[in-house]
Structures are given as structure tokens and as C-alpha cells.
Amino acid sequence: MIKKAVITAAGLGTRFLPITKAQPKEMLPVVHKPVIQYVVEEVYLSGIKELVIVTGRHKRAVEDHVDGYIGKKENEYVNDFERVLEAMNIFFVRQKEQRGLGDAVRYAEAFVGDDPFALLLGDNITIPNCTEILIDIFEELGAPVVAIEKVSIERARHRGIIKGRKIKEDVYLIEDMFEKPERPISNLGIIGRYVLTPDVFNYLRETEPGYAGEIQLTDALRNMVLDGKEIYGYLYPGRRFDIGNKIDWFKANIELGLRDEEIGKELREWIHKVKGYL
Ligand code: UTP
């Protein structure tokens, strides 16, 4: 039912400066692969073959990495990705000005057309595959779904937050939502995975700049909810790393590194040893 996906990767990544001065944050390595590769593979493993990636200035490396031809096939991470790229149709569109996530999503309108679609933030990794689960929920409930996680109230002020009524295990009917609220109304924070319907574009068109002067996707979704449209929140039980901030990037490398067959054992031993020096 969901045949199309959109990945946003046009953000400036100022929280990562100077690391992102000349390279996109989506190209930061997490164990064996850059972040964008995890996200494209998540789309493919969800059964979606049509993908548009919204990029922008300074994002050439993302486009080059997600290009069919890698060259020398030296290891499984190269070979597996090449197979993924061969099976998919991937398009790029460039956001002209960095006016926020909501604005970036608008660039996918022509590609999406009249179809529901998955939306993934290109700097977030989810393990296991969150998009695949959202698609199942969308098919069951027939309405947009936003992945959420429990956050501390302190962190909630820096996140998109939903207020909802629990309708069944891990699923909430959203009653209201706010982007980075001063006084959070709940501890349910939005994570970078969505399944949306094309009517969101009508709302994005009407959405005024919000938090930080940017067009916020959360504000457009809020207006849909206030118009009486059903949108669900799914409490994702897996691991989600927001590579847009440094500490999550470190955590992703350590946690996924510890689980890795090739380097896990040595990393564990090293962590044990280094703890002795601290
Ligand atoms: P962030 O909130 O992480 O913002 O974007 P950012 O600009 O990328 O990073 P900082 O805050 O400067 O460090 C969330 C998602 O929205 C995309 C980002 O690429 C990321 O997927 N985005 C954000 C855009 O595509 N365009 C924008 O104008 C803003």
C-alpha cells in the first residue's frame, strides 16, 4: 500500500559545527556506514522502491553516496548497498532555502502525488526498522501515523510533543501537538518517522513560520488534528538515534559497535580497560 518514501536531508546541521562545515551530517559514520545508508536501507527493507531525498547546499556527498555506482566491490556493506540501489528508483530535489522541515517536505509534493507516503528524517537511525511497523499500523487504521517515544520533561521542551488518548497497546489517537513547547503537555516526543497522506501538503502550504522562524511539520499536523482529521501516535519500542546531536551520534557508534560481529568483542574489552584509566 505504501509505495513511496521521502527522506529529508537538507538541514544545515549547525549543532555539529565545525564537523559539518564542509560535509553533511548524514555522511557521519556509524560503525561501518554513513547515516544516510542506514536510512535508505530502512526504506528498501520496508518494501518501498520509489524514494525522493530532499537535499540542499553542501549535500553533494549525500547524492554521490546514494548513487548506483560505487566502484570496487570490496566488502558486504558495499555489495549489499549496491543491490539496494539497483532495486530502487531514487530521485533528488534540492530545498532552495533552509526554511524548516515542513518546507523541506513540500518539495516532495510532485513526487508524492495522490499517494500516502513514508517520511524519514535522514539523520535518524531506528533499530529495528520503525517504518515497516508504521506501515502496518497505517494499513490497519487507514490514517497517518507518527512514531513517538517517551522522553524526560526536560528533553520534551526541545522536541515535538503529542498529547493523545491511548486507544490500544502503544497506539494513541492524537488530540494535540506542539513543536518545542515551553511547557510540555506530555512526555511523548515525536521521532523522525512518519506515514502521511497527501492532504498534509494542503496544510503545509498554509502553515506560517513557527518555532525558530521555520515552517514546522508539527504545526501542519496539528492543524490537521484541529480540523478533526485522525492522526495516530505509535510508541516505538526500539532504539532510535538522533544523529543530529553529538551525544546520540557517540551512543549510536558505541551501542551498535558493541553489537557488531567484527568489532564488538574488541570494543567491549577496550571499554573495560579504558574505564580503569578514568
Ligand atoms: P533539524 O531539526 O535537525 O535541523 O532537522 P538541522 O537544520 O538539520 O540541524 P541543526 O539544528 O542546524 O543542527 C530535522 C530534519 O529536517 C531536515 C533535516 O535535514 C532533518 O532531516 N531539514 C531541516 C530540512 O530538510 N530542511 C530544513 O530547512 C530544516
CATH superfamily of 4-245: Spore Coat Polysaccharide Biosynthesis Protein SpsA; Chain A (3.90.550.10)
Question: Any idea where the domains of the chain sit in the sequence?
Answer: 4-245
Distance of CA 261 from the midpoint of ligand 1 (Å): 32
pLDDT band for 77, please (50, 70, 90 cuts): confident
Range 155-174 average pLDDT = 95
Angle of CA points 27, 244, 26, to nearest 5°: 15
**Does 78 have pLDDT greater than 90?**
no
The residue among 137, 120, 158 whose CA lies nearest residue 234 is: 137
Helix (H) or strand (E) holding 30: strand 29-30
| CB 207 near ligand 1, within 6 Å | no
This prediction has a pTM of 0.96
Residue nearest to atom 3 of ligand 1 (CA): 244
The ligand 1 atom at the shortest distance from the C-alpha of residue 99 is 28
**Does 69 have pLDDT greater than 80?**
no
Q: What is the pLDDT of residue 80?
A: 87
**Which of residues 153 and 195 earns the better pLDDT score?**
195
Range 152-179 average pLDDT = 95
The residue among 225, 233, 228 whose CA lies nearest residue 169 is: 233
| CA 185 to chain CA centroid, nearest Å | 23
Percent of the chain with pLDDT over 90: 90
**Does 72 have pLDDT greater than 80?**
no
Distance of CA 74 from the midpoint of ligand 1 (Å): 33
